[in-house]
Amino acid sequence: MKIVTASTFEQQEYVKEKITYFFDSLFPFFFSKNYAIDLENFGVLSIEGVEEYSLKEILEVTAALQTLQSLLECISDRVGDPKHSKQFDRNTKILEKHSIYFPLRYDDFLSTSDKEALSLMGKPENQWIL
């Protein structure tokens, strides 16, 4: 007999909040607003059936999203390292294993981080610029 523990409502909501954070805060930093909307419309990071995830599955998805978030925030702070590419790929594969579509590669974010000056989400050069 095998016992499978179901995920909790709070864990499911946390995953949904993480995905919302990607679209509201991370993607607009790297891509235009229209492109971020297109990503959402194409089903990127779509989590159908999150209510069906077991405890193990929801924890794997949560850890993968948190890791991807940290790596993308490192790139946005200009501390991104090409060595992080392997971690990025590993965590996108975890998402794919759970049928969460994430077609973007680490390099896709590196090439757009130079456009920070054009982004509304970019950090100002000093504290006096609003």
Return the HEC string of the chain. CCCCCECCHHHHHHHHHHHHHHHHHHHHHHCCHHHHHHHHHCCCCCCCCHHHCEHHHHHHHHHHHHHHHHHHHHHHCCCCCCCHHHHHHHHHHHHHHCCCCCCCCHHHHHCCHHHHHHCCCCCCCCCCCC
Quote the percentage of the chain above a pLDDT of 90: 57
pLDDT band at 50 (very low <50, low <70, confident <90, very high): confident
Summarize pLDDT for 80-111 with one digit per residue, the tens: 677 889 999 999 999 999 999 999 999 888 87
- Residue 95 contacts residue 64 (beta carbons within 8 Å): yes
With a threshold of 0.85, does the pTM exceed it?
Answer: no
Please state, in angstroms and rounded to a whole number, the distance separating the CA atoms of residues 86 and 89.
5
pLDDT of 113 reads: 47
